[in-house]
Structure 1
Amino acid sequence: MPTAPTKAAGLADGSSSATPWPRRSEHPDPARRMTFYLGIPPSAMPRVDVPTCVSVSALLRCGDRLPRAKAPYLLDSGAYTMLRDHGGWTMFVEEYAATVYRLIDGLGHPPTAVAIPDWMCEPWIIHGGLHRGHHYVGTDLDVPIHQALTTGAYVHLNNEHTGVPWMPILQGHRLHDYLDHIHQYARAGVDLTRAPLVGLGSVCARQGTAEIAAIVAAVRAAGIDRLHGFGVKTTGLHLYGPHLRSVDSYAWSKGARLRLPDCTHPGPCNNCIRYALAWREHVLDALRHPHQTSLPLDFRNPTNPNVADTKHTTDTPRDRKA
C-alpha cells in the first residue's frame, strides 16, 4: 500500500512535480489512462498546472474579474446546487450558452468540455426534503421528464452553438433509466457512441457502489466508451476507473481535516490548493494500487518540507456534490 503524499504538486511556479496529465489508453501507468480533473475554486486556476474542473456558478461569482486558466479545464454547470436550491434552472438554455461564451472568453482558452444544464435524477432532487443535512426544494417532476429536459438542452446547444465542446450527459436512477436515456438521445438524432465525451450523471452519492459499476458496464456495452464520471472518488475508481475516460472530484475539500507542512493559513486545509494537489497525487497513486481502499491523509512526516507556499483561498469549490 502506498503511503500518503506529503507534498503538493502541479503548481504553476514549477516548485513541485505532478503526475503528467496527457492520457493514453495503453499507457503503462494506470494513472495516465484517464484524465483526472481536480475540482478547484476559480481563484486557483492561474496557479495550477494540472487539468481542473470549475463550475459555471462559481465563475459567475467572480463577476468581471475572471481568472486566466493556466491548464486544461472542464466547465461544470453547477446543476446539482441549482436544482437543490431552486427546484429547477433559473436561466434559459440560451442564457446558459451566452454565459459560457463570456466565461470562455475571460478564461483565456477553450475548455476541453462543457457540461450542459442537465437535470439530475436522485430521489431527493425530484421529491425534495432533507438529505444529508441539506434541504432540497424538489422539482416535483419525474425521471423521464428530467431526461427529456437534459436531452433537449444538449440538442439545442449542440445545434445552435457548434463552437463549444458541449458534453451530453446521461441521466437516470436505475440501470434501465440510463439505457432508456440512450434511446431517447438516439430518437432525437444524437449518436452518443460518436460523442467525444459523455457524462454519467446522478452517480455522486452512489459512486462507490456495485450498482454504478453495473451501470458503467451496461453503458459501455451499448457502445459508449468515452465516459466522464462526475464526482467519482477513490472507491469508485477502484471499481470501474479503468472503464472511464475521465473523472472530476472536489472531494478533497470535504475531507481535508489535517494541515500540510509549512502551510501559513489558519485552520485546516479544506480550502488549501496545496492540499488539493497533494490529494490528487494520492488518488492517482491509488489507481496504481487497486487494493487501497481509503485515503489516510497523514502529513505529519513530510518528505519535502521545502514546497513553495500557495495562497490559501476561502472560495467554496464544491458546486456539484453528493
Structure 2
Amino acid sequence: MRQTILAVLSLSTLAALLTGCGGDMVLLNSKGPVAQGQSDLMMTAIYLMLLVVIPSIIMALWFGWKYRASNKDADYKPTWAHSTAIEIVVWGVPVIIIGILAYLTWWGSHKYDPYRPLESEKAHLDIQVIAEQFKWVFIYPEQQIATVNEVRFPEKTPVSFKITSNFTMNSFFIPKLAGQIYAMAGMQTQLHVLADETGEYRGFSSNYSGYGFTQMRFKAHSVTEADFNNWVAAVKAGNGTSVNPEAQQKTVLDAAEFATLKDGDRSKHQIEAMLKNAHTPEEKAKAEEAERKGPFPTKPHPVTYYSSVEPNLFESIINKYMSNYHGADHSSPASHAETVGAEHATASVEE
C-alpha cells in the first residue's frame, strides 16, 4: 500500500508540473501561435491518454481493496472466464482514443507544418540561418546585415527562417515560438514563426553535434517594428553596440570572414597529445590542423554584428556541398572559404 501511495503522489506531482504549476515550463508557456498550437496538441493528447490511465489506477486500487484477504464478503468465482461488457470497454475505449489521436496527428501535421507560411497581413521577414561549428549565423538578405548568436525580428510579424548547416547535422530550436527543425549540410529546411509580443527568447541546438554543441546558444529578441528598424540602421552604420553594448561590431561577412568562425572540435589536452605523439607526415598534418583550429569552445561565441554581407553567401554554402554530387564548379566563394581562412590563420601565426 505504501508503494501505491508513493506512486499516486508521484503522478500527482507530475500532473501539476505538466499544467505549469511547477514554474516556467517553456513548452507550455508559448509566445506565438505555432508553439501555442503545438502545446495545445500535446496537452490534448495527454488528457486523452489520461482517460485510460486514471481509471486504470483507480480500478487497480479498488480491486486490491475489494478483494483483499480479510474481505470475506467479496465475490469468489473460480470458474469465471468471459465478460462481453469488459471486452467492449477494454478494447473499445482505447480504439476510440487511438482514432482521435490519429486524426489530431494528421490535422496537426498539416496545420503546423514548419514549411507552411503563416497567414498575416504583414509581409514575411526572411532570415537565413547557418549552423556553424559551434555557433549560429543569421543573415538578413533584404537588410544586407548578419549576426552571430543573436536574432531580432518585429513582434506580430511572420518570420521565415531558411536553415542549413556548414558542418554536421544540427537542430534549430526556439521552444517558446516553434518546434525544432534540422539544419543539414547541402540542404535547406524552413521554419515559420511569429511572436505575439515583445520579449527575449532562448534558442539553442537540440541535436548533439560534437564536444562544443552545448555552446550553440543564442537569444531571439522580439521587438517593436520601430526598434527593429533602428537596430538594422545601427548595424548597417557600424554602430550596433549602441543597441547591445555586449556585442561586437564588424564590417563585412564574406567567405574569408565566415571561414574564421569555425571552431575546433578537440579539447586543449587532445591537441597537445596529438602534437606530442605525431610521427608520420599524415599525423603531423592532422595535429597542425587541429592546433590551427584551436580547442572547442567552453562558452558561447560573443554576439557579433556585420554591417554588410557578401551576396549569395547562404546559397554558396549550400552549393559547396551539392557540388560533390553534381560535379558543379568548386570555384564559388564559399568553396574556398576554409582554404582562405587557413591561409589567413597561417599568415597570422608566421607574423
**TM-score over 0.5 (shorter chain):** no
Q: Given the two structures, how large is their TM-score scaled by the length of structure 2? A: 0.18
Larger strand share, 1 or 2: 2
Structure 1 or 2, whichever has the larger Rg, is 2
Q: Of the two structures, which has the highest relative contact order with CA contacts closer than 8 Å and spacing of 6 or more?
A: 1
Q: Given the two structures, how large is their TM-score scaled by the length of structure 1? A: 0.19
